[in-house]
Each structure stands twice: as structure tokens, then as C-alpha cells.
Chains A and B, each alone.
Chain A
Amino acid sequence: MRPLHPVSPGLRTVLGISFFVLFVVFWAWITLGGNVNRIFLADPLSMLRDGWRLLVEDRFWLDILITIWRVFGGFVLASVVAVPLGIAMGAWKPVEAFLEPFVSFARYLPASAFIPLLILWAGIGELEKLLVIFVGSVFQIILIIAVKVGSTRRDLVEAAYTLGSTNNSIVKRVIMPANAPEIAETLRLVLGWAWTYVIVAELIGSSSGIGYMIINSQSRLATGQIIFGIIVIGLIGLLSDFAFKAFNRWLFPWSLA
């Protein structure tokens, strides 16, 4: 195979789907073929059956909606705080010098370890779930955006100065639009991580959501339901990623033209 040579769109789709097929075939083979004990791993068919029952009888779609709301709520909260801070840090070096060491430190604090504390402060309601996602995302977004903004093309900034821009309009008319696509791309990435935090938050001290269903199923050894829950998360993640990507393309046609 020639290195770096592009693959045709048709073949790309076929190859992409065929791995999913292979994966399911392998899964079916080890479970339906009796290679693994049913208690530990459900086969694809009973997974589907369990999933159907969950949706129809146990109103699992309510859990799905609640989890989606938590992810987006926490994510929006984190973005609203982090994007302006990241831009400020990237643009003004004293702000960066002031905040960067702390944010770098806070980034390594595991969001899941905050759960007991957050429960203590905010109870086990919605606020606590949002805060877990917030804590997990906000520092990451701040740092990535600060780095991107800090590496804004200097020649564009200089060109703007020679056209009469003031310091403030450099930030508003050059730094922000120049980095907008990268900021949107960063948010798309972090939204993916938010899905991990929400499930962790729902595994502990929760009475609704996909994570709650999963931990609940564990006590009943319902591995089919667990796998169904995991796949639902994967599918929603994939869909929101697609939507986000399409939205970014629509928002910033100049960066791809």
C-alpha cells in the first residue's frame, strides 16, 4: 500500500462498516458459540431483546433524555465559563501568568474524585451531576483555548495594527474570529469527554440516567442491559459528534473553502 495515499469514499464506507460487522460476528461467536459464560457476557440477540424491553417497559428513554440534558447542561455551563477565560489568557499574558499555573494543576484533579465532595455540597440532584461535568471539562477547555489563542498568526495581528486596529479591536476582530473554528473544534472534542463524566456521576448516588440503569443492571447480572446502555451512549456520542461537525462546517465555511 502506498503511504498517505487517499482511499476512495466508497471503499472508506465499506471498510468502516465492515469492522463493526466483524466485531459483532466475533461477539456472537464467543457468546452464542458458548465460549463465554452467559452470566458475564450477554449475546447480541439477548442484548437487543433486553434493550427493547428496557425501552418499552421500563421507560428507559426517559433515562436517556435525562442523561442527554445533563451532558449538555454541564457542557454549556463549562463552555460559558471556559471560552472567555481561555481567550483572555491567550490574548493577555499577565492574565495567563496569573491563572495558567492554577488551571494546569486543576486540570489533573480527577473529576470523579470530586463526586463525594460535590454530593456533600450539592446533594444528589441535578446540580451535582452538572457540576461533575463542569469540573471535568472546564479546565481542559480553558487550557486548550488559551494555547490556540496564544498561537494566533502574528502577521495577521500586525496587518490589523497597520490598518488602524486598537488593542481591543485586535482581540475582537482578529484573535476571536481567527480562532473561532479551533475553539468550536475543541468544544466538540470536550463534549465527547463529557459523556464519560456523566456516566461516572450517574453510577454514584443517582436514581435516574443511563449510568443509573447500568449500575442497577449490574446488581441483577443483566449484562444485556449493560451492553445496551453502553451502545446507546456510543450512538448518541456519534450522533452529537456528527451534528457538531456539520454545525462547525456550516458556521465556518471560510476555513474549509
Chain B
Amino acid sequence: MSKLLIEGVSRTFAGVRGAEPVRALMPVDLAVAANDFITILGPSGCGKSTLLRIVAGLEAPSEGRVLLDGKAVTRPGPDRGMVFQSYTLFPWLTVAENIAFGLRERGMAEEERDGIVASYVDLVGLKGFENHWPKQLSGGMQQRTAIARALANDPEILLLDEPFGALDNQTRGLMQELLLGIWERRKKTVLFVTHDIEEAIFMASRVIVMTARPGRIKSDVAIDLPHPRHYTLKTSPEFSALKARLTEDIRVEAMRTADAH
């Protein structure tokens, strides 16, 4: 059985001041198997973030429904952890308190929380920064904390909305390896939205390519590259072949977006 089932989900935004309603997302069907790492690749404005937010329950679909373990998603909940592109750590909480946030909301006792927090601080390599405030951290460290915060809740599925989009190239590469390393060790179902082709291939067991707005699924590419993956994989011939193929797919869509403006 699929872990996550997206059935005919579409989204239309009401027109502003009598304008025509805007279709952001055509009906999308997608089945995600347990412990799959799926990247959703598309040009900007294609509705891929909207799709992710619908899965998170932060937005309601205009049509269709999302099922997680057979249960319909109606609102956000701790079973769907999310990492945002913008830095969303709570600035008044330290790194450790941020990671503990979900556990605290669940009413977990402090002693029990501390153990879990320590293990996730370790997992994302932030030992020694537990008592820092988000303001004192670099962008990469903030996103590592955000990943730890989402994982500490032990969600059924992890949703990531261009989590490394605001980071510089080197940091981004390191973060990709870090997240992939975590996934390889502790299997988890992941939905990862990005507009970066290399990132999409490197991380994924399956890449979903979306068309320009209004978005729909254009292609569904299995990535059978072996694990564990190392950054040198990005220069291998198999990787290049996949990249060439997806680049072509995306280019057509990006040009359609550019023409529309």
C-alpha cells in the first residue's frame, strides 16, 4: 500500500478584483511508497510548493484529496513534518528548545525530551550549539536545526520546500549530503520540492517533473543510482545522462513560463 496518495488534487486561486480565477495546479495524481525519497522538480511558479503545502494541510485543495496511511489530510499535523525555504526557527528559543518544540507540544516530559533532542543535535552536527539563539547561526546551521526539529517529532513523512534554496552553493552541497546520509541511515518517506536539477537527481529515488503553470506532472523518473551516494556521483556518466534528460524536460517548461510573461 502507498504511504501517501495524492488523488486528483488541484488548486485554483480566486481572481482578485473581478479578474479570472488563476489555476495554479492541474489535477495531480501521485502515489508515494513508504521510505521513498521523492523530489518534485519544476520551474518557479509551477505550483510545486502549493502541492507540498496541500500535503502539509496548510492549504486546502480545490478538488481531490490527500491520503496519508489511508487517512484524509484536512489540516496540518505532527505526522507531516515540514522544512520551509525561509528560516522558520522560533527566534526566542535556543537550538535545543526549537528541536524540542514538537515534543513539548505533545506533552512529553522534559527528561525524555532531552535525550531525543541530544540525539538529533548530534545527527545534524550541531553539538556545542544547543544553547545558541537562531540569530547567532549561519543559514546552513539554521536549516540543519529546522530539519532536526521536524525529524525529532518522528513524522510519518518529511516535507521539504526548497529547504536549501537560500544557501550558497558549497553549503547547499554539504546539506544535501547530510540529509541524504540521514535518510540512508534512518529510512523515512520524504517529499522534497526543488527547482535545482542536480539536487533533484542526487537526493531522489524518484523525480517528479512538473510543467509550467498551471502545473501538472510531466514525467516520473526513477533514479536507480546506488546508495550510499557521495558528491562525486554528480560527475558520473549515469548522473550526467539523467541530468541531460531532465534539463531538456525542464527547459521546455521554463521557456513556456518565460513566454507567458
Chain A residues with CB under 8 Å of chain B are 155-156, 158-166, 169, 173-174, 177-178, 180, 252-255, 257
Indicate if the CB atoms of A164 and B78 lie closer than 8 Å: yes
Chain B residues with CB under 8 Å of chain A are 56-58, 75-78, 80-82, 84, 86, 88, 90-93, 101-102, 105-106, 133-136, 146, 149-150, 153, 159
Indicate if the CB atoms of B105 and A155 lie closer than 8 Å: no
Distance from A96 Cβ to chain B, minimum over Cβ atoms (Å): 22
Residue of A nearest to B136 (CB): A257
Indicate if the CB atoms of A163 and B78 lie closer than 8 Å: yes
Contact of A164 among B58, B77, B86, B92 (CB under 8 A): B77
Inter-chain CA distance A163–B105, complex, in Å, is 8
Inter-chain CA distance A100–B158, complex, in Å, is 40
Contacts of A158 in B (CB 8 A): 58, 76, 82, 84, 88
Indicate if the CB atoms of A163 and B133 lie closer than 8 Å: no
Indicate if the CB atoms of B135 and A164 lie closer than 8 Å: no
Indicate if the CB atoms of A252 and B92 lie closer than 8 Å: yes
Indicate if the CB atoms of A180 and B58 lie closer than 8 Å: no
Indicate if the CB atoms of A156 and B102 lie closer than 8 Å: no
Contact of B90 among A164, A166, A174 (CB under 8 A): A174
Indicate if the CB atoms of A255 and B153 lie closer than 8 Å: no
Indicate if the CB atoms of B92 and A159 lie closer than 8 Å: no
Q: A164-B153, A173-B105, A254-B93 are in contact. List 20 more A-B contacts (CB 8 A).
A: A155-B84, A158-B58, A158-B84, A158-B88, A159-B146, A160-B101, A161-B58, A162-B56, A162-B76, A162-B77, A162-B82, A162-B150, A163-B101, A165-B105, A166-B105, A178-B90, A178-B91, A254-B91, A254-B135, A255-B92
Indicate if the CB atoms of A161 and B76 lie closer than 8 Å: yes
Residue of B nearest to A180 (CB): B92
**Could you list 17 examples of A-B contacts with CB < 8 Å?**
A155-B84, A155-B88, A156-B90, A158-B76, A158-B82, A161-B58, A161-B75, A161-B77, A162-B78, A162-B159, A163-B78, A163-B102, A164-B77, A164-B105, A165-B105, A255-B92, A257-B135
Contacts of B76 in A (CB 8 A): 158, 161-162
Contacts of B159 in A (CB 8 A): 162
Residue of A nearest to B91 (CB): A254
Inter-chain CA distance A174–B93, complex, in Å, is 10
